[in-house]
C-alpha cells in the first residue's frame, strides 16, 4: 500500500468467527511492538470487542520512517500483515488508496487499510 507523506493512516484489524473475543490485540511495525506513547506522537489504537472484534491503528502525519510491515496480533487468531510505503512526493504507477487482506482460516482475521486526508476549509 502506498500513501502520501503527512496523511493519516488507519490500519484496521477485524477478528470474526472466534468463539470469544481475543483477550488482547497488539500491533507491530517491522517486528517491533508499537509504543503508543513514543516521542513521535500521533499514534493511537482503538479496540472494540464483541462478536466481531475490531482494532484500529491510527498514525497521524505519516512520514517515510513509518513505512514498513505492520502486523496485527490477536491473542486467539492468526496474525495478519500489510506492507506500507509512505511516499515523499513520488508517484508510483500502482498507487493504492486502500485495500484489505483476508485470511481464509477460522477464526477469520482481516486487515483493511484506509487513507484519510483531512482538508482544512475556512468557515
Residue 55 CA to residue 15 CA, distance in Å, equals 9
pTM passes above 0.85: no
26-83 pLDDT, tens digit each? 999 999 999 988 888 999 999 999 999 999 999 999 999 999 999 999 999 999 999 9
Phi, psi of 25 (to 5 degrees): -135, 125
**In terms of residues, how long is the chain?**
123
Between residues 117 and 48, which one has the greater pLDDT? 48
- Phi and psi angles of residue 20, each rounded to the nearest 5 degrees, phi first: -155, 160
Task: Tell me the mean pLDDT in the region 5-32.
Answer: 93
The pLDDT assigned to 111 comes to: 53
Amino acid at each position: 500500500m502506498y500513501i502520501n507523506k503527512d496523511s493519516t493512516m488507519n490500519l484496521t484489524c477485524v477478528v470474526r468467527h472466534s468463539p470469544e473475543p481475543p483477550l488482547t490485540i497488539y500491533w507491530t511495525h517491522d517486528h517491533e511492538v508499537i509504543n503508543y506513547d513514543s516521542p513521535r506522537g500521533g499514534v493511537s489504537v482503538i479496540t472494540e470487542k464483541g462478536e466481531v472484534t475490531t482494532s484500529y491503528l491510527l498514525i497521524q502525519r505519516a512520514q517515510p520512517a513509518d513505512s514498513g510491515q505492520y502486523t496485527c496480533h490477536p491473542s486467539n487468531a492468526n496474525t495478519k500483515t500489510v506492507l506500507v510505503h509512505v511516499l515523499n512526493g513520488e508517484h508510483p504507477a500502482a498507487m493504492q488508496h486502500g485495500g484489505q487482506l483476508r485470511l481464509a482460516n477460522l477464526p477469520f482475521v482481516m486487515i483493511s487499510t484506509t487513507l484519510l486526508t483531512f482538508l482544512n476549509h475556512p468557515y
